[in-house]
Amino acid sequence: MSNDNKSNVVIIGTNEYPPMAEGKIAVDFLAAMKASETAQRGRQVIDLRKDVITDAVRGYILALEKAALKFDTQAVYDQAHEIRGLAATVGLEASGRIADGLCKYIDTASRLGVTIDPAVINLHVGAINCAANAKDDATCLGRQVAAELSALVTHKLAR
Amino acid sequence: MANSFENLRALVVEDNPHMRSLLKSLLHAFGIKQVYEAEDGDTAYSVLCDRKPDFVLTDLSMAKADGIDFTKRVRTDLESPNAYVPIIMVTGHTERPRVEAARDAGVTEFIAKPITAQNLMLRLAEIVERPRPFVKCDDYFGPDRRRRRTENFTGPWRRAEDRDSEVEVR
């Protein structure tokens, strides 16, 4: 343990507190975390849940649309946040990215005290829904929409 | 501490049931059998006291007590059962102020959603392979927040200890 008297900072070294794992346990754990078989099992877990999570994302999109109709920005943020957290895990990458952009817009506008534009919300909500239902979510079209919406948000906030 | 890595105990703190279930299943698939769950920071703290997990995965935003409150409590509560427990924040929040607030609460690692098996495995390996020193000062207790590794950097150094410490960037 070292003490920097000037700034009253104490540094506690890695050998001065209990490790999460050590010795053979640590070696075995690291080997497992770096094994391709482990990654394969993990991917299978995600694949097995794909349908359930996709249905859940569609439910969040419905709730998002309802919140947008009421212009309930907190509810819009909450639903978009759930979508950005889950959508890309099951391959709905464009939906996740657009939802992330919507969250960033609401968050930044709220912190800066900027009036939130319902048109920006509606454009994002429509795009999230379209991207989630498109067969080509992973193509450049979805990414293009996400990029253009991001540019719109940057423009609005800059103004 | 467990005597086999399969007996390591994990705590998953997440209010979204789908994500919570997914994280638990991923940990099981990785070979970690004992996975406890909580859907908010207050419940998580109780589980932490009762079960003493070896590491924690936590969301940032939760309705009752969020991941930042939970992390601060783990790190600074005088009755915390393990103020040094590794805490990995799994979050969809990419807004800089929120990420900085989480870092300043004392999280060990971040994983940005969407979650993948690979990025979870990487972070879990990281906390064992390259644990970080802890820093205690007037307004912070937690893992060293300096993450910059500059291979060819020869100084100047902010502190004498910096000469000997490995500082990373990612």
Is B117 in Cβ contact with A38 (below 8 Å)?
A: yes
A51 CB-contact burial (10 Å; exposed 0-12 / middle 13-18 / buried 19+): exposed
Is A38 in Cβ contact with B121 (below 8 Å)?
A: yes
Is A43 in Cβ contact with B117 (below 8 Å)?
A: yes
What's the gap in Å between the CA of A19 and the closest CA on chain B? 8
Spatial distance between the Cα atoms of B139 and B142, rounded to a whole number of angstroms = 10
**pTM for this entry:** 0.84
* Residues A138-158 pLDDT 10s: 555 667 677 778 888 887 777
B25 touches chain A (CB under 8 A): yes
* Mean pLDDT on A32-52: 96
Q: Out of A20-34, B36-50, B109-123, B137-151, which region has the weakest mean confidence (pLDDT)?
A: B137-151
B109 touches chain A (CB under 8 A): no
Full 3-state SS string of A27-68: HHHHHHHCCHHHHHHHHHHHHHCHHHHHHHHHHHHHHHHHHH
What is chain A's mean pLDDT, rounded? 88
Q: Model confidence at B45, in pLDDT bands (50, 70, 90)?
A: very high
B139 touches chain A (CB under 8 A): no
Residues in A 120-159 with any Cβ partner in B closer than 8 A: none
| B143 DSSP 8-state letter | E
Sign of CA dihedral B102, B103, B106, B112: positive
Tokens 């200890």, residue? B161
What's the gap in Å between the CA of B83 and the closest CA on chain A? 10
| Closest residue of chain A to B115, computed from CA coordinates | A89
* Mean pLDDT on B56-73: 91
Spatial distance between the Cα atoms of A107 and A99, rounded to a whole number of angstroms = 12
Does residue A117 surpass a pLDDT of 50? yes
A80 touches chain B (CB under 8 A): no
pLDDT at A8: 84
* Mean pLDDT on B11-28: 96
Does residue B3 surpass a pLDDT of 70? no
B128 CB-contact burial (10 Å; exposed 0-12 / middle 13-18 / buried 19+): buried
> How wide is the angle at C-alpha B114 spanned by C-alphas B166 and A108, nearest 5°?
85
Q: Model confidence at A48, in pLDDT bands (50, 70, 90)?
A: very high
* Mean pLDDT on B142-146: 89
* Residues B152-162 pLDDT 10s: 444 444 444 44
* Residues A60-105 pLDDT 10s: 999 999 999 999 999 999 999 999 999 989 888 889 989 999 998 9
> How wide is the angle at C-alpha A35 spanned by C-alphas A33 and A37, nearest 5°?
115
Verify cis geometry, omega within 30 degrees of 0, for the bond prior to B156: yes
Residue of B4, B14, B134 to mutate, interface with A, max A Cβ within 10 Å: B134
Tokens of B91: 């979050």
Helices (H) and strands (E) in chain A, counts: 7, 2
pLDDT at A105: 92
Does residue B168 surpass a pLDDT of 50? no
Q: Are B33 and B6 in contact (CB under 8 A)?
A: yes
Q: Are B128 and B164 in contact (CB under 8 A)?
A: no
In this complex, the residue of B86, B98, B114 whose CB is nearest that of residue A20 is B86
**What ipTM does the predicted assembly reach?**
0.83
| Closest residue of chain B to A89, computed from CA coordinates | B114
Is A44 in Cβ contact with B29 (below 8 Å)?
A: yes
Q: Which of A37-51, A105-119, A126-140, B102-116 reaches the highest mean pLDDT?
A: A37-51
B63 to chain A: which residues are within 8 Å by CB? none
